[in-house]
Structure 1
Amino acid sequence: MTNLISQLKKLETSGVIRTSAQKSSITDLITKAYRIRSRTPQLAAKKVAILPGPLEDLVVNLLAFDGFCEAIYLCPANTTVPPVEGIHLWPLVSEASTDIKSPAISKQTTWYIPTSGTTGKPKWFGHTLEALTANIKHSTNLQKLTWGLLYQPFRFAGLQVLLQALLSTADLVDVTGLEPIKQVELMALHQVTAVSATPSLWRQLLMTQQLDTLPLRHITLGGEIAEQVLLTQLSRLFPKAKLRHIYASTEAGVGFVVADGQAGFPTKWLDNPSSPIELDISEKQHLLVKPKCSVESDAPLLLNSTGFMDTQDRIEIIGDRVFFLGRATGAINVGGNKVYPEKVEQVLLSCDAISQARVYAKKSAMMGELVAADVVLLSDPLIMSSDPLIMSSDLSTIKLQILKECKKQLQRFEIPTKISFVDNVSYNPSGKLNRQSNGKQHD
């Protein structure tokens, strides 16, 4: 069984990892990984939890422990280490004082990754390196890319970008933790040509009005619904770039990739064994997927009798296309009617004046819940005028335009009863919209 180090040595990689502070070659990181193995023989065939730290340290640790330890638990910041018997915390484990040759274990290492915990306590799901890298390809063109890392590398999406860069021997530029304008500046400095991010993060990058300074050739969206307005905007800004959106989850791994520039995916992929992954629809109109490989977990996947997993993603079919409406677990209950925040956000984002939107539930004594929305406007001298009379007048006009568009596309109970203009909307560590906090309001 091959491990991460052996795969990289076979590729004879010359890739580098850059941050705002330093540059590290993969060759040097492999040397450091061997040093860790030789100094920690007590970790052989054990379970180890990798604690938060710099990207270079994470790569070294993954190289050192894959094929050496029984299991690796990736612990992002603010995530509690799982209560697993016999687990060792790294780098808190003391190193041996002398170098000792340590054998690699013959069993494959299981990589445990936590869910984002947006709908409750994070759950841990284990994947093999083979499963994590099943969709990663190597070619001369891919080797020439320079990837920008916006996701936390301790989570599934970030790990996918990291492994893609490593195993295609491409360079990687870490811009996690920086403000959007600084992210663009650093990526422009190092001529980043490939970026993977959630739609929310892409909107933040677009708001800098400097995204076109990047020579992007590969654009990937994932983690949230990729609405047509955003796909079209990115396609027009980078007409020569390969544009795709990915459906994936920590629970089931990478599901499928849509590369035709259109929102949703073709209906012909449903109930079709020759599709990239087997898909179906439940009676509740939830998307069902059949995982390609087995996944270990502290909360086993709930599979039906035919091996399909309910993703809890509500979908609808229009013509020959399947569109995502939102998470069934996140629906707002308005007098017994279910409203999917993501659906309303897509309508708001189709309005010319809006760059970002966050829809959430507002308590109501009569209806149970009502729909409320925070929106961020595109920069405009009049809208952002310091004169309160001008600002009030323009905001009122824009609000009427927004409501007019909502009435065209939404049912009455789906229309926001309160629209607030805010400076920003917040995101969770996975780069997804945070529906639990508010931005600073203009009104």
Structure 2
Amino acid sequence: MIELLRAAASERPDHYAIRTPVRELTYAQLVERAERAAGALRDRNVQRFAILEDDPATTWTLLAAASLVGAEACVYPPAASEEEIDRFRVKFAHDVLVSSRGRTDALHSNELESFDGRVRDGLPSGQRPVLILTSGTSGPAKGAEHDWGRLLRMTERVEPTPHHRWLLSYATNQFGGFQILLHVAASHATLVAGASFRPRDGLSAMRRWDVTHASGTPTFWRFLLAELVSDAGPVPALRQITLSGEAIPEPLLRQLRETFVDANISQIFGATEMGQTITVRDGRPGLPIDFLDEGGDVTFRVVDGELHVRTRSAMRAYFGEAPSDDADSVWRATGDLVEVVGDRILFRGRKTEVINVGGVKVHPLPIEERVSRIDGIALVHAYGRQNAMVGQIVAIDVVALPGADEDALRASIAQACADLAPAARPRSVKFVTSLETSGNKISRGGAK
């Protein structure tokens, strides 16, 4: 990370690296703060530490500092409860926590950023670890042990585009947010962050700083589209939209094309364990089937309906496991169930989400896609609900757009799902004001 920031600062020292409602830093300022924080880490002999910050500028500074001196940093979710933080510290053996929240058990980030001494000589070539947490949307978060040198491979072909302004809609503990930090630094662009990661604040930041590029989960974009309808304000003049983190339904792609008429729309597939992402730009759901071909930086295969992946930037191991001697050759199960249809690899849901209705396996995503096509519906979540007769039934929670008639929507849902197999038809339809999310992804688990 520090190499990317120093390169940008050398070419464009006064160009904004990041702009948020609370502070703005140029690349030169960001590098100086990172070098001071690195000096403090070295002075205190900190080898491993966790970061708990609300300000992405501070998180970026501390990650760069860690990469400079070879300390293993790990970013905690900003929204984590005190109990979750305590569990993370025990699970990942973090004796040192850096935070500006005034915790008595933490180093204050200001002490590190304002340290009277800077580190300019980085480590020689070799492993420089970083620990990235998985999202935890379908189970307890794990720690993926990565190396900065391997992660930087994904930036090798990035060209400088300083006129680009990227919205940060992922928390920086997520791999999506981490990837945005790397891309913005490599392209000498400007990172823009709202007051929070909520879509409403993201929309405000887009308008305030004329964001040109924005990446978010499908759930983030659904909420943002609903905000645009609700506030009737100007539509940001985006040039590029990317989606990642969840399966992407065709109706959402259509809505985005109709709303942001001048924007290119791309789909990103990646996972914390992969260490890099792939981009699909053809505007169609799923992945092209040629990604199953051998060769290239990322290769996929389908095993018993589950997508497996092998990449040259993969993690070395999960925290607590012995690292692989040859991580590039390891095939890892993604947990994503897929189906090859024609020339596409289509996502059908996570293994943990399969609904068992009297012995019949039902995937929730095709149901959600059907229901989401109905005018007046903003969000839908399909899941299994426990049932004494058949084990589970299909249930859906629906968020309607303001002013929509729920009785009419209920009838439309029944009609849209009428030709599904009996086991796949929703037997419970509940209208809710919001869905539980984690990291702007719908929280998904087992049966309820």
Matches within 5 A, 1:24-173: 24-44=25-45, 46-77=47-78, 78=80, 79=85, 80-81=88-89, 83=91, 87-91=95-99, 92-93=106-107, 99=116, 104-106=122-124, 107-136=126-155, 137-139=157-159, 142-173=161-192
Cα pair distance change 1:358/1:352, threshold 3 Å: same
Match of 2:350 in 1: 327
Matches within 5 A, 1:283-322: 284-296=304-316, 297-298=318-319, 307-322=330-345
Distance 1:166 1:402 in 2: 45
Q: Could you tell which deviates more after superposition, 56-65 or 5-14?
A: 5-14
Distance 2:302 2:327 in 1: 12
| Structure 2 unaligned regions, length at least 5 | 100-105
Shift of 1:237: 2.2
Q: Secondary structure at the match of 2:210?
A: coil
Shift of 1:399: 1.1
Match of 1:387 in 2: none
Match of 2:387 in 1: 364
Please say if 1:278 is aligned against 2:299.
yes
Distance 2:399 2:242 in 1: 23
Matches within 5 A, 1:153-302: 153-175=172-194, 177=196, 179-209=198-228, 213-270=235-292, 272-274=293-295, 277-282=298-303, 284-296=304-316, 297-298=318-319
CA root-mean-square deviation: 2.9
> Contact (CA 8 Å) 1:374, 1:420: kept in 2 or not?
yes
**CA shift digits 1:286-326 (9 cap, x unpaired):** 11111223413226599999732111211112222111000
Shift of 1:110: 1.2
**CA shift digits 1:404-432 (9 cap, x unpaired):** 11123x3211111011122222311x211
> Contact (CA 8 Å) 1:286, 1:311: kept in 2 or not?
yes
Structure number with greater CO (CA < 8 Å, separation at least 6) is 2
Match of 1:396 in 2: 407
TM-score (norm 2): 0.85
**CA shift digits 1:376-420 (9 cap, x unpaired):** 22333xx3xxxxxxxxxx432321221111123x32111110111
Shift of 1:366: 0.8
Shift of 1:87: 4.7
Distance 2:10 2:414 in 1: 58
State, as a whole percentage, how many aligned pairs show the same letter. 28
Cα pair distance change 1:413/1:127, threshold 3 Å: same
For 2:341, the aligned partner's letter is I
Q: Secondary structure at the match of 2:258?
A: helix
Cα pair distance change 1:98/1:379, threshold 3 Å: closer
Shift of 1:12: 3.5
Q: Could you tell which deviates more after superposition, 13-22 or 256-265?
A: 13-22
Number of equivalences: 420
